Chains A and B, each alone.
Chain A
Amino acid sequence: MSSTNLPIAKAITAGLRDAMAADDKVLLMGEDIGVLGGVFRVTDGLHAEFGSQRVVDTPLAEAGIVGTSVGLAVRGYRPVVEIQFDGFVFPAFNQITTQVAKMHNRTAGAVHMPIVIRIPHGGGIGAIEHHSESPEALFAHTAGLRILAPATAQDAYWMTRQAIECEDPVIIFEPKKRYWVKGDVDPDHRPELSPWEATVVRQGTDATLLAWGPSMPLALESAEAAAEDGIDLEVIDARSLAPIDYPTIIASVKRTGRLLITHEAPVVGGLGGEIAARISEECFYHLEAPVLRVGGYHLPYPPSRMEHAYLPDLDRVLDGVDRLLEH
């Protein structure tokens, strides 16, 4: 076996390197991604290996980075854009939602937009404002985009490869808090599981707990803690946030009769609400309880000395599980 143990950040680096080696149309764009190797070092070594024509240190202008990527894609390139932090994607929001998402439709399929936008996301790292956000719902709402949220090193590697191969634009929300957590990666064997599918990572019978990206360790930890109280949780890693793999979630909820969704993003208008609505439609007669959500509050992300109270944690998830099982 060729499996190697890599931190998530390095699994992404390996995915980028292998994608660039496989296709010379793949190029990287972003701030500080060249000589520095990115503020999280995800592109470390790639500038030395592939040069400044393929690892492009751009001016500090997110709309310009994404906007020039659109032109490069029209010309036949496959740009991979790094947005430095989640909170800095908004200067590019216009380009992502009115251009990247719509160009294929606008041209009736004549122009493809194989652009990957990598966004380190999520909180819990003690950062200053705009460095800890979870804006996935804002993009999941926009037709034309796809969104992946890897939680493991293996997914980080393969989702990077598969997003770059995809003919549609893909946003990858990378779990920045877990960049240095290691996991096994097998770069030689393409996984059978599609990147657009959810996966049951722990089987259980009493309730389903759905999470993604940086919330996955919390979900698994919650299941272990619940098991000590005799509650058997099934845990699903959503993996793809656009499209969401409903068949996998529905099948689980039909078995367990209960669903709790946890994400760092605010509950109001969040993806958990969309999933809850869909599950109530599809699983109405299987549900023993309303679908519950545990997430961020309807607030701007708080200063970091307060973020522990804002982010879902073990106690809040278990509290949600208790409320779910009261029914």
Chain B
Amino acid sequence: MVQLLAADGTRTPHAEFDAVLDGPDGAGGLATPERLRGYYRDMVMIRAADVEATSLQRQGQLGLWASALGQEAAQIGAGHASREQDYLVPTYREHGIAWARGIEPWRLLESFRGVSHGGWDPNELRTHPYMIVLGSQAPHAVGYAMGLQRDGVVGTGQPETDTAVLALFGDGASSEGEVSEAFTFAASFQAPVVFYTQNNQWAISVPTSVQSRVPLAQRSRGWGIPSVRVDGNDVLAVLGAVRIALDSARAGKGPVFVEALTYRMAAHTTSDDASRYRPSSEEEEWAQKDPILRLRRHLEQLGEIDEAYIARCDEEAHDLAMQLHHHIHGMEDPDPVGMFTHAYAEPHPIVEVEREQYLEYMAQFENDDDIDKSAEQKGERA
């Protein structure tokens, strides 16, 4: 397992990773002090949004929330390892990925609130919709990558425009047949796709040991897909691994698999009770490996962060949470007739008839309201 930042924040040299983190000549890489502070801020912000979303669910404002607490480095690192032109294919617990791709947190909450099934335009933000049928997104990622090959934007030697796909799935979804089929297609066609697993140790109540007898990273090697396992709570290890993998894929060298070891600090979702299946001692053990604290310690060692910056990040995070709170509380329910709009792209006579029937049915109650109102008014006059 590649780890660059120890728990106390000390950085270990690693020739291959350091080349992308520090740049070819020790400058212009992904780990400049300014960028490191940015990752720290991103992680603080997304954690605050995540905690606020859990509160919103408890307040009845969201039907469900799937927390990503503890996975901030694994997500912010991978998100920033991707280049602007890349296409990312997430599961439903990728809030840090979404943040790094510029998706506002309130858009993520649309589906958890139940006002839409999506929240953003995948083409505009170059990020696929959240996937709930786990594993189903893996072949989508490979297909998109096959499209990139046909578009001639792979292996031209231009890393600024050559494009790759980052396919995300968890340790649980790694058991889905479609993930295996995605490996097969990616390997056969040498598609420019990086498979990225955040192994957060738990698939709801089932530990990773039930999904696989060997480290997940070994799985892809049977397909001839090279793999690397990194410390997922180490933002530098994630950044380096995913950037190297994506750049290799975009250069036309075929798929790569990256496994990041991390931990789901919260329950599976707000409907889950993790105390039924895992000991709190395990949670406490992982709390010691907190990804945000680790980066902060590293920045402190470098002398590149001060109390004022930390306080400003906390303040911004608090403001973000409050904005999210007010935005969601102020979000009006959509007119249900909208559910008829996008079932098909082209006109569909059955849907049109049912839409008209729905409107006619509802119109009866509008009249009832009028009757009620006039009755109320009469009552008031009386």
Residues of A within 8 A of B (CB): 27, 53, 58-59, 61, 63-64, 66-77, 79, 91, 94-95, 98-99, 102-113, 143-144, 146, 166-168, 196, 243-246
B344 touches A59 (CB 8 A): no
Q: Which residue of B123, B145, B178 has the most chain A CB atoms within 10 A of its CB atom?
A: B178
- Report B-chain residues with C-beta under 8 Å of the C-beta of A111: 122-123
In Å, the complex CA distance between A75 and B136 comes to: 17
A99 touches B148 (CB 8 A): no
As a 0/1 sequence over residues 134 to 153 of chain B, the CB contacts with chain A under 8 angstroms (1 = contact) are: 00101111111111111100
Known: A71-B146, A71-B147, A77-B147. A108 touches B178 (CB 8 A): no
Known: A67-B138, A167-B346. A59 touches B184 (CB 8 A): yes
CB distance from B39 to the nearest CB of A (A): 29
- Report B-chain residues with C-beta under 8 Å of the C-beta of A107: 118, 121-122, 129, 342
- Report A-chain residues with C-beta under 8 Å of the C-beta of B178: 63-64, 67, 94-95
Contact of A110 among B121, B151, B181 (CB under 8 A): B121
A98 touches B345 (CB 8 A): no
In Å, the complex CA distance between A113 and B343 comes to: 11
Can you add 17 more A-B contacts, CB < 8 Å, to A67-B142, A69-B143, A77-B150?
A59-B185, A64-B181, A67-B140, A67-B182, A71-B140, A71-B147, A74-B123, A95-B136, A95-B139, A102-B117, A106-B117, A110-B123, A168-B345, A168-B346, A243-B348, A244-B350, A246-B349
CB distance from A171 to the nearest CB of B (A): 14
- List 9 tightest A-B contacts by C-beta distance, closest first: A71-B143, A67-B139, A75-B147, A68-B143, A64-B181, A71-B144, A167-B345, A71-B140, A110-B121
- Report B-chain residues with C-beta under 8 Å of the C-beta of A166: 346
- Report A-chain residues with C-beta under 8 Å of the C-beta of B142: 64, 67-68, 71
Q: Which residue of A74, A98, A102, A112 has the most chain B CB atoms within 10 A of its CB atom?
A: A74
B343 touches A68 (CB 8 A): no
Contact of B143 among A75, A144, A196, A246 (CB under 8 A): A75
Contact of B342 among A91, A108, A196, A243 (CB under 8 A): A108
Known: A98-B136, A110-B123. A68 touches B185 (CB 8 A): yes
A-B interface contact total, Cβ < 8 Å? 141
- Report B-chain residues with C-beta under 8 Å of the C-beta of A64: 139, 142, 178, 181-182, 184-185
B151 touches A75 (CB 8 A): yes
- Report A-chain residues with C-beta under 8 Å of the C-beta of B185: 58-59, 61, 64, 68
Residues of B within 8 A of A (CB): 87, 89, 116-118, 121-124, 128-129, 133, 136, 138-151, 165, 177-178, 181-182, 184-185, 188, 341-346, 348-351
CB distance from A277 to the nearest CB of B (A): 13
Q: Which residue of B is nearest A114, CB measured? A: B345
B150 touches A53 (CB 8 A): yes
Q: Which residue of B141, B144, B345 has the most chain A CB atoms within 10 A of its CB atom?
A: B345
Contact of B145 among A71, A77, A95 (CB under 8 A): A71
23 contacts between A and B (CB under 8 A): A59-B181, A63-B178, A64-B178, A66-B139, A67-B181, A67-B182, A68-B139, A68-B182, A71-B89, A71-B143, A74-B122, A74-B123, A74-B147, A94-B178, A95-B178, A105-B342, A106-B118, A107-B122, A107-B129, A109-B342, A110-B121, A168-B344, A243-B348
B118 touches A70 (CB 8 A): no
Contact of A71 among B116, B121, B141 (CB under 8 A): B141
- Report B-chain residues with C-beta under 8 Å of the C-beta of A102: 117
CB distance from B188 to the nearest CB of A (A): 6
B341 touches A94 (CB 8 A): no
Known: A67-B178, A110-B122. A104 touches B144 (CB 8 A): no
In Å, the complex CA distance between A63 and B181 comes to: 7
CB distance from A54 to the nearest CB of B (A): 8
- Report A-chain residues with C-beta under 8 Å of the C-beta of B133: 94, 98-99
CB distance from A63 to the nearest CB of B (A): 5
CB distance from B89 to the nearest CB of A (A): 8
In Å, the complex CA distance between A168 and B117 comes to: 18
CB distance from B109 to the nearest CB of A (A): 16
In Å, the complex CA distance between A146 and B144 comes to: 23
In Å, the complex CA distance between A79 and B150 comes to: 13
A76 touches B147 (CB 8 A): yes
In Å, the complex CA distance between A77 and B144 comes to: 9
In Å, the complex CA distance between A73 and B141 comes to: 11
- Report B-chain residues with C-beta under 8 Å of the C-beta of A63: 139, 177-178, 181
Q: Which residue of A is nearest B144, CB measured? A: A71
- Report A-chain residues with C-beta under 8 Å of the C-beta of B177: 63, 91
Q: Which residue of A is nearest B178, CB measured? A: A63
A72 touches B146 (CB 8 A): yes
- Report A-chain residues with C-beta under 8 Å of the C-beta of B136: 67, 94-95, 98-99
In Å, the complex CA distance between A221 and B165 comes to: 55
B343 touches A143 (CB 8 A): yes
- Report B-chain residues with C-beta under 8 Å of the C-beta of A112: 345
In Å, the complex CA distance between A91 and B140 comes to: 16
In Å, the complex CA distance between A205 and B339 comes to: 41
In Å, the complex CA distance between A27 and B150 comes to: 10
B184 touches A61 (CB 8 A): yes
Q: Which residue of A is nearest B149, CB measured? A: A53
In Å, the complex CA distance between A108 and B111 comes to: 12
Q: Which residue of A is nearest B187, CB measured? A: A59
- Report B-chain residues with C-beta under 8 Å of the C-beta of A77: 147, 150
CB distance from B250 to the nearest CB of A (A): 15
- Report A-chain residues with C-beta under 8 Å of the C-beta of B128: 74
CB distance from A242 to the nearest CB of B (A): 8
CB distance from A144 to the nearest CB of B (A): 6
In Å, the complex CA distance between A144 and B339 comes to: 12
Q: Which residue of B is nearest A64, CB measured? A: B181
- Report A-chain residues with C-beta under 8 Å of the C-beta of B350: 243-244
In Å, the complex CA distance between A88 and B289 comes to: 48
In Å, the complex CA distance between A79 and B143 comes to: 10
Q: Which residue of A is nearest B130, CB measured? A: A106
In Å, the complex CA distance between A181 and B342 comes to: 39
Q: Which residue of B is nearest A113, CB measured? A: B345
- Report B-chain residues with C-beta under 8 Å of the C-beta of A66: 139
